[in-house]
C-alpha cells in the first residue's frame, strides 16, 4: 500500500493558515506530522504537550563550541507550525522536523553550498509577486483578503491546493528560487522518504507554501544525494526552547519574523465570529484606562465606519487598515498620539512566552532563573523602571545581580536617571526589559562559570588581564565593587597596580583616577573593603600631581581640549578622595605602601617640591593631597609660552587652572584680576588670550557679574583687538560665550551696552540707608507697572529746564 502525503503549504505566522491547518489535520487524520524546522528539535518537541510551554516561544539552536553562532525559530499561538505540533502531541502522533539541520548553517567555512548563487539581490518574496500579478500593491493586504480572512470550507485541502498551484506557476518561471532553497527541499524530500520507510501511510507535511511544488514531484534519491554532497561539515549543536515576545515577532531583521501586527493576528486567531467589534472594544478599554473619553457609542460608530471602509475598498472583511482608520477617526478623535498607543499595545503587544523548567538549559541559565524567582524579578517584555534602595537586603541583592549580568554582556537592566533627584549612594534606578536574544548572551557567558557570581568574577579577571587601557581597568574595579565581586577584586587590583606602575602617560593616569575614586563612595552602603582601593587612588593622584604641569606643555588644540576635560574630572575626584578617603586610609596605608613607592619612583621629576617616595595613603597624606593638587594647578597656571607655543601650556589649560583655584578659594579676586590683566596684555597673542578666557569662563560666567573689574578688563582687551586678529579669535569667543547661561549672557550684554566700564567697584550706600541713585533708576519702570506718571526729582527738573 502506497503512502499518501498531504502537503499543507502555509505562510509562517498566519492565523488564517493556522485555522486551515487545524481543519485539514482534523479531517484528514494523518498518522505522522512532518514540519519545516530544525531536526535537532525532535528530542524536545514533546515539551509542547504540557501547559508549561506557553507561546510565543522559539527554538534556539547554537554551536556548542561557539554559542555566538545561533539561530531562532519563533512560534506564536497563531503559527501554523505550532498548531500542527499541538495536534500531533494531543493525538499521540509522531511529529518530526524536516528542514536542513541547523548545524550546517553554523559551518565556519565560507563559499560552501549553503551560500546563495544569486550574487545580486536576494530572491523576491513569492507573496509580493502573486499580489502584483493580481493587481495589488500591498502584499500583506492581498494575502489577508485571500487567505487570512477566509474560514475553512467543506474541503479542508482545497485552499492548500490553490496556493500550491499559484506557487507552482512561480516556480515554473524560476522566480524566487535560491541555492539554499534547493538544498533545503532536497533534504525535506529525504525526510519524507524516511517517514514512508518507517511505515507511515498518511503523512501530513506542514511547510512554507513556496516549497510545495518542489515536494510534490519526487526526483530520484541519487539526484538529491548529489545535490547535498557539497554541504559543509555539520557543527555540533545544542537546541532548546526559549521565551519569545510579540514585539520581537514584529521585527523583520535580526531574530524577528517580520510579522507587522502579531497582536492583531493573535486576536484574529483566538476570536470566534467577527473580530472587529471585540478588537475595537479592547481599544476603547485601553484608551479609557489612559484617561481618554471613549464611550460605547464611540465603539459602535467605529465598527460601522470600519465595515463601510471595507465595502468602499472592495475587501471581504474589514482588515487592520480599516480598523485602525476607524479607531483614529472615532476613538482617538484624529489624534495620532492616542492611535500610537493602540498600535503599541494591541497591534504589536508585549506578550511574553513561558518555558518549563524541564527544557534543556546551561547551568548558568538555571542559576539565573533561581535568582529571578528568589529576588522576585520576573522577566517581562515590557520596559519597566525599578528603583532600588541599597540599604535593604533584597534591593542590594537585585543590584548585584543586575551589575553582574551587565558585566557578562546580558543587559537585562540598564541604569537610568531616577526622577527623584538624589545624590546619595543608596539609591539606584534601572530600566528592565527582557529581550529573547539575551538567551544567546547567557549561552555565551556560560563558558565563564556555572553560577552568575562565578561567571561574572571569572569574566572580570579575564577582562582585566586583556585590558590595554588603564581607564578600562579602573572602570572594571568600580564594576566589581558594584557587583559585589569580592573574590575577583584582588586579582583585578593586582593587574591595575602593575599596569599603573608601568604607565607614565599622565593623561592615562588622569583618565583612570575618577572611576577609581567614585568606587570609594559605595563603602558605607555596600559594606566592601576599600583599603587597597584608597591606596591605589592616592598613588594615582600623586603621580598626576607630579606630572601634570610638564604633561600640559606643547599641546595642540585638540589635545588641550581633551586635557581640559581630564582636569575637571581629576579636580572633582581629588576633592572626593580627600573627603571619603580617610575612612579607608588605615587599611590602605599598609596595603599600598609598596605600590605608592613604586608609582612615585617611576613618576616624572617633581617640579612642585613633592617627595617622590613619600607614602600619601594615610590620613595625613590624603589631607595634604588637596594642597599638592593646588600646587600643581599653580605650576600649570604659571607655564607661560615665553619662547613660543611649544614652550608653555596652552592658554585654555592655564585659564582653567586659575578658575579651579578661584572656585576653591585659593585665589582671591585681586590675584585673579592681576592674572587676567597679564594674559590680556599686548605681550601675549590674541589666540592664547582667547583660549585663556575660554578655560576660565567654562562652567559659568557669573564671576564677570560679581566682579566688574574682570568684565572691564575683558571688554578693554576685546575692543582693542585688531580687525585681522579679531576674525581669527571670533569663533573661539563665540563658543566660549555661547556656553554661558542665557541669563548671564543677557546681563553681561546689558551692562556693556549701558556705558563704559570703569573697572572699579561701585560705591554703595551704607547698610540700612537708601541708595538714591539706584532707586531713581527704578522709578520709571515702577511708574509704568503702576500706571502713574513718574515724579521727576527736583534736581533732574532743573537740569532739563
User: What is the 3-class SS of 662-726, one letter each residue?
Assistant: HHCCCCCHHHHHHHHHHHCCCCCCHHHHHHHHHHHHCCCCCHHHHCHHHHHHHHHHHHHCCHHHH
pLDDT at 525: 45
Range 79-106 average pLDDT? 94
pLDDT value, residue 59: 93
Q: What confidence tier does 602 reach under pLDDT thresholds 50, 70, 90? A: very low
pLDDT, average across residues 90-117: 77
C-alpha cell at 189: 524530500
* Helix (H) / strand (E) containing 32: strand 32-35
Grid cell 617627595 in the structure block, residue: 611
At 132 the pLDDT is 81
Torsion angle, alpha carbons of 791, 797, 800, 801, to 10: 130
Give the mean model confidence (pLDDT) for residues 31-57: 93
- Please give the DSSP secondary-structure letter assigned to residue 331: I
Distances (CA, A) of 93 to 48, 68, 88, 118: 13, 35, 5, 40
pLDDT of residue 645: 55
pLDDT for position 696? 83
Distance, CA of 748 to CA of 535 (rounded, Å): 46
* Mean pLDDT score of the chain: 81
d(CA 428, CA 422): 10
* Among candidate residues 168, 324, 331, 327, the one with its CA nearest the CA of residue 260: 324
Task: Give the confidence band of 273 by pLDDT, cuts at 50, 70, 90.
Answer: confident
For 184, the enclosing helix (H) or strand (E) is helix 179-197
Sheet holding 384-389, edge to edge: 384-389, 427-432, 413-415
- What integer pLDDT is reported at residue 238 of this predicted model? 92
Query: Beta 57-63 vs 237-243: how paired, if at all?
Result: antiparallel
CA distance 685 to 690: 9
pLDDT per residue over 762-780, tens digit each? Answer: 455 565 567 677 777 788 8
* pLDDT for residue 424 is more than 60: no
**Pick from 27, 303, 318, 400: nearest CA to 144:** 318
Between 516 and 379, the higher pLDDT residue: 379
- Greater confidence (90 vs 426) lies with 90
Query: Taking the CB of residue 89, how many other CB atoms lie within 10 A of it?
Result: 18
pLDDT value for 395: 92
Q: Which three cell numbers stand for residue 530?
A: 576599600
Mean pLDDT of 52-61: 92
Say whether pLDDT at 292 is over 70. Answer: yes
Cα–Cα distances (Å) from 7 to 1, 74, 100, 192, in that order, read 19, 21, 18, 11
What is the model's pTM?
Answer: 0.69
Average pLDDT over residues 534-560: 84
d(CA 714, CA 599): 42
Q: Could you identify the residue written with the cell 597596580? A: 497
Dist. CA 344–CA 213, nearest whole Å = 38
Q: Which of 84-93, 193-202, 342-351, 635-644 shows the lowest per-residue confidence on average (mean pLDDT)?
A: 635-644
Task: Please give the pLDDT value at position 614.
Answer: 36
First to last CA, the chain: 128
C-alpha closest to that of 480 among 583, 387, 400: 400
> Looking at residue 481, what DSSP letter applies?
H
Instruction: Report the b/e string of 201-226 with b at 16+ CB within 10 A.
Output: eebbbbbbbbbbbbbeeeeeeeebee
Strand order in the sheet with 202-208: 4-10, 202-208, 32-35, 95-97
CB of 231 closer than 8 Å to CB of 114: yes
Question: Residue 114: its pLDDT value, please?
Answer: 56
Position 205 confidence tier, pLDDT thresholds 50, 70, 90? very high
| Rounded average pLDDT over 150-165 | 81
SS3 126: helix
Position 589 pLDDT exceeds 60: no
Amino acid at each position: 500500500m502506497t503512502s499518501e502525503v498531504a502537503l499543507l503549504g502555509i505562510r509562517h505566522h498566519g492565523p488564517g493558515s493556522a485555522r486551515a491547518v487545524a481543519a485539514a489535520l482534523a479531517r484528514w487524520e494523518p498518522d505522522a506530522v512532518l514540519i519545516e524546522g530544525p531536526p535537532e528539535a525532535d528530542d524536545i518537541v514533546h515539551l509542547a504537550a504540557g501547559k508549561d510551554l506557553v507561546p510565543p516561544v522559539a527554538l534556539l539552536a547554537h554551536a556548542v563550541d561557539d554559542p555566538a553562532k545561533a539561530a531562532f525559530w519563533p512560534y506564536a499561538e497563531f503559527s501554523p507550525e505550532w498548531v500542527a505540533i499541538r495536534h500531533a502531541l494531543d493525538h499521540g502522533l509522531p511529529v518530526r522536523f524536516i528542514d536542513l539541520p541547523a548545524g550546517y548553517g553554523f559551518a565556519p567555512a565560507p563559499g560552501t553550498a549553503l551560500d546563495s548563487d544569486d550574487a545580486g539581490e536576494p530572491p523576491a518574496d513569492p507573496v509580493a509577486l502573486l499580489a502584483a500579478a493580481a493587481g495589488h500593491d500591498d502584499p500583506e493586504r492581498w494575502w489577508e483578503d485571500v487567505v487570512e480572512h477566509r474560514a475553512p470550507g467543506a474541503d479542508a485541502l482545497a485552499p492548500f491546493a490553490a496556493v500550491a498551484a499559484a506557487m507552482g506557476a512561480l516556480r515554473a518561471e524560476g522566480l524566487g528560487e535560491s541555492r539554499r532553497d534547493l538544498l533545503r527541499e532536497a533534504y525535506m524530500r529525504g525526510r519524507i522518504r524516511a517517514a514512508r520507510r518507517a511505515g507511515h501511510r498518511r503523512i501530513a507535511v506542514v511547510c512554507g507554501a513556496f516549497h510545495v511544488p518542489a515536494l510534490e514531484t519526487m526526483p530520484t534519491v541519487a539526484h538529491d544525494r548529489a545535490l547535498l554532497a557539497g554541504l559543509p561539515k555539520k557543527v555540533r549543536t545544542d537546541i532548546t526552547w526559549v521565551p519569545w515576545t510579540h514585539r520581537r515577532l514584529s521585527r523583520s531583521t535580526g531574530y524577528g519574523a517580520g510579522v507587522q501586527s502579531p497582536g492583531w493576528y493573535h486576536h484574529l486567531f483566538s476570536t470566534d465570529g467577527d473580530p472587529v467589534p471585540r478588537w475595537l472594544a479592547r481599544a476603547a478599554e485601553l484608551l479609557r484606562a489612559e484617561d481618554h473619553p471613549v464611550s460605547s457609542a464611540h465603539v459602535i460608530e467605529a465598527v460601522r465606519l470600519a465595515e463601510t471602509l471595507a465595502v468602499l475598498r472592495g475587501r471581504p472583511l474589514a482588515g487592520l487598515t480599516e480598523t485602525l482608520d476607524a479607531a483614529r477617526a472615532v476613538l482617538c478623535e484624529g489624534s495620532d498620539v492616542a492611535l500610537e498607543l493602540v498600535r503599541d499595545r494591541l497591534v504589536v503587544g508585549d506578550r511574553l512566552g513561558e518555558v518549563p523548567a524541564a527544557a534543556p538549559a546551561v547551568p548558568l541559565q538555571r542559576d539565573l532563573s533561581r535568582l529571578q524567582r528568589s529576588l522576585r524579578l520576573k522577566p517581562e517584555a515590557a520596559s519597566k523602571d525599578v528603583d532600588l534602595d541599597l540599604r535593604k537586603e533584597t534591593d542590594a541583592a537585585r543590584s548585584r545581580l543586575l551589575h553582574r549580568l551587565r558585566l557578562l554582556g546580558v543587559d537585562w537592566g540598564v541604569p537610568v536617571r531616577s526622577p527623584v533627584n538624589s545624590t546619595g549612594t543608596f539609591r539606584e534606578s534601572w530600566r528592565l526589559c527582557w529581550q529573547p536574544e539575551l538567551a544567546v548572551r547567557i549561552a555565551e557567558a556560560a563558558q565563564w562559570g556555572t553560577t552568575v557570581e562565578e561567571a561574572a568574577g571569572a569574566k572580570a579577571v579575564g577582562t582585566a588581564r586583556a585590558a590595554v587601557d588603564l581607564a578600562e581597568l579602573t572602570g572594571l574595579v568600580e564594576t566589581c565593587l558594584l557587583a559585589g565581586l569580592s573574590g575577583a577584586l584582588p586579582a583585578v587590583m593586582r593587574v591595575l597596580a602593575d599596569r599603573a606602575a608601568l604607565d607614565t602617560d599622565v593623561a592615562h593616569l588622569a583618565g583612570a583616577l575618577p572611576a577609581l575614586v567614585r568606587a570609594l563612595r559605595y563603602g558605607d552602603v555596600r559594606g566592601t573593603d576599600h583599603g587597597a582601593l584608597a591606596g591605589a587612588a592616592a598613588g594615582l593622584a600623586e603621580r598626576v600631581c607630579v606630572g601634570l604641569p610638564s604633561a600640559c606643555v606643547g599641546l595642540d588644540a585638540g589635545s588641550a581640549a581633551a586635557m581640559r576635560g581630564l582636569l575637571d574630572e581629576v579636580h572633582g575626584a581629588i576633592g572626593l578622595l580627600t573627603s571619603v578617603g580617610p575612612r579607608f586610609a588605615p587599611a590602605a596605608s599598609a596595603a599600598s605602601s609598596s605600590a605608592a613607592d613604586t608609582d612615585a619612583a617611576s613618576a616624572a621629576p617633581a617640579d612642585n617640591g613633592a617627595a617622590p617616595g613619600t607614602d600619601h595613603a594615610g590620613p595625613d597624606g590624603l589631607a595634604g593631597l588637596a594642597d599638592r593638587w593646588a600646587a600643581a594647578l599653580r605650576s600649570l597656571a604659571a607655564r607661560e609660552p615665553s619662547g613660543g607655543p611649544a614652550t608653555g601650556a596652552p592658554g585654555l589649560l592655564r585659564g582653567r587652572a586659575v578658575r579651579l583655584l578661584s572656585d576653591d578659594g585659593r585665589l582671591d579676586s585681586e590675584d585673579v584680576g592681576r592674572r587676567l590683566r597679564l594674559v590680556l596684555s599686548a605681550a601675549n597673542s590674541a589666540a592664547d588670550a582667547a583660549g585663556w578666557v575660554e578655560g576660565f569662563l567654562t562652567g559659568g560666567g557669573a564671576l564677570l557679574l560679581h566682579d566688574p573689574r574682570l568684565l572691564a578688563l575683558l571688554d578693554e582687551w576685546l575692543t582693542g583687538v585688531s580687525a585681522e586678529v579679531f576674525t581669527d579669535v571670533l569663533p573661539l569667543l563665540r563658543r566660549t560665550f555661547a556656553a554661558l547661561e542665557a541669563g548671564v549672557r543677557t546681563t553681561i550684554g546689558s551692562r556693556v551696552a549701558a556705558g563704559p566700564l570703569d573697572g572699579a567697584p561701585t560705591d554703595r550706600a551704607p547698610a540700612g540707608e537708601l541708595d538714591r541713585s539706584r532707586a531713581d533708576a527704578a522709578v520709571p519702570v515702577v511708574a509704568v507697572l503702576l500706571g502713574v506718571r513718574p515724579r521727576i526729582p527736583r534736581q533732574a527738573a532743573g537740569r532739563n529746564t
